[in-house]
Structure formats: structure tokens, C-alpha cells
Amino acid sequence: MKFTLNIRELAKQVSSGARTLGITPGHRMCAGCVAPVIVKQVFLAARKPIVVVNATGCLEVATTIFPYTAWSVPWAHNAFENSAAVASGVETARRKLERDGRFRGDPDVDLDYDVVVFAGDGGTYDIGIQALSGAIERGHKFVYVLYDNEAYMNTGIQRSGGTPFGAWTTTTPVGKKIPGKPVHKKPLVDIVAAHRLPYVATVSPYYWTDAIAKFRRALEADGPAFIRAFS
């Protein structure tokens, strides 16, 4: 399927209020962090409203410092390890409500929405890989967006399964005894693709048109979709 994207037209929709970016200014993400950009690209790609499931991590912590929130859409915080399981529940509940005819004709309730997970590399490569594998194997329709900054940045730059070979972190220092991380980055995209889900892709947020096109394909896939976004 070919997608035609007009970035200028999308920008006009945002300016007019016809389209939301999901996340608002005033969050506490580090200067230069691309995770909020990834979120905005997903919302620019969307044709339906989005319910966000957000794993514990940088994005969750820095956008929801009590009593504030930077999110302008329905949003659920879950534990580090179970974002895919929570998305499974949200998606299943929506289908059940539709099947039962609940809220049919209610102008205040829209059940035609997409479910999107945002999770970092710690919550995906390591702690959350079991829940992710189970959810995509079961075929739940949701999009899992991994914002991969290649370490546990939120807690002080510890190595994760997504940290590259030889990289310095606080738990793999570079010196005479330890030459940085001694093992290679886990091939997570290959692991996910082995589940034979409808759509898997990698994204560099720098390439806006490519990123938005891939996010749109993921949102419109017939089943679970996974995107690894380098952040």
C-alpha cells in the first residue's frame, strides 16, 4: 500500500487544532531528547484517536511529574515490565464493548481508536520482553513503539540489552579491566520479526516522512505491529 504524506498539511492541521500531537510543551525530558518527537510523529501518522500505554521509564517519568501531565490524550502508566500486557487488556476490552454494543449511539464515547505502547529499551529488550512476546504471539492489535536510547538512562546510564558492544555505561566502564560492554546488542527486531506479526520496522526520527509513513503502516496493520525508533 502506498502512502502519500504532506508534512505541510499535517502541520496546518496541528496549528488549527484539528489534529493533536498527544504530548504538550512543558514536560521535563532532557534537552535534545528525541522521545517526544517520536510521540509526535506517531500522532501525525494517526487517522484515529490513540490510547497511550506508557511503560515506566524516561518518557513516563518526565512527562507526568505529580501533579502535572504533558499528555493531552487517554494515557495509562504501567509497570516497567507489563506494557504489552496492559495494551492487550485495553485492546481486548474495546473489542468486548463493541461486540456487546455498549455505548452504541453514545456521542460521548468513541470506541474506534488505536492502542499504542511507548517503552524504552530497558522495558523492552530486558524487563518487558516476555509480555511483548506473549502479546504479539496472541495477535492483539496494537502498536509497540520502542524508543531506543541504548541504556537505562532514567536511572543513571546503566547497560541494557540494547546497549552496543564496547559502549561505556556506569555498569560497563571503559578501562584496563573492562573494555566497555563485553557483549553485542540483542537483535530484538529479528526476535520480534520471528513471531511473524504483520508489521515490523526500524525508524530514524530524523527522516520525518519515512518515520510517519512507517508509523501509519503500523497503525493500519491487521494485527500487532512493532517499531524500533532510535532515540
Tens-place pLDDT, residues 84-130? 999 999 999 999 999 999 888 888 888 999 999 999 999 999 999 99
Considering the domain boundaries, does residue 161 fall inside one? no
| Whole-number pLDDT of residue 2 | 57
Please compute, for residue 125, the number of CA atoms within 13 A of its CA located in the half-sphere on the CB side: 23
- First-last CA distance in the chain: 27
Domain annotation covers residue 127: yes
Question: pLDDT tens digits, residue range 171-228?
Answer: 999 998 889 999 999 999 999 999 999 999 999 999 999 999 999 999 999 999 999 9
Domain range for 78 is 7-150+185-230
Concatenated DSSP letters for 10-36? HHHHHHHTSS--SB-S---PPTT-SHH
> Helices 129-138 & 83-100, crossing angle to 10 degrees?
30
87 within domain boundaries: yes
pLDDT at 160: 96
Domain count across the chain: 1
pLDDT of residue 15: 81
Residue 171 belongs to a domain: no
pLDDT in tens, 18-30: 788 999 988 999 9
Those residues whose C-beta lies under 8 Å from the C-beta of residue 161, and which sit 6 or more positions away, are 121, 125, 126, 129, 185, 186, 188
- On average, the pLDDT of the chain sits at 93
Question: Does the residue 175 lie in any domain?
Answer: no
| Residue found by looking up cell 540489552 in the block | 161
212 domain-assigned: yes
CATH of the domain at 14: 3.40.50.970
Residue 1 confidence (pLDDT): 53
CA-to-CA distance for 210 and 53, rounded, in angstroms? 24
Q: Give the whole-angstrom CA distance, residue 121 versus residue 66.
A: 24
Peptide bond into 49 cis (omega under 30): no
What is this structure's pTM?
A: 0.93
Residue 12: predicted pLDDT:
84
d(CA 136, CA 140): 6
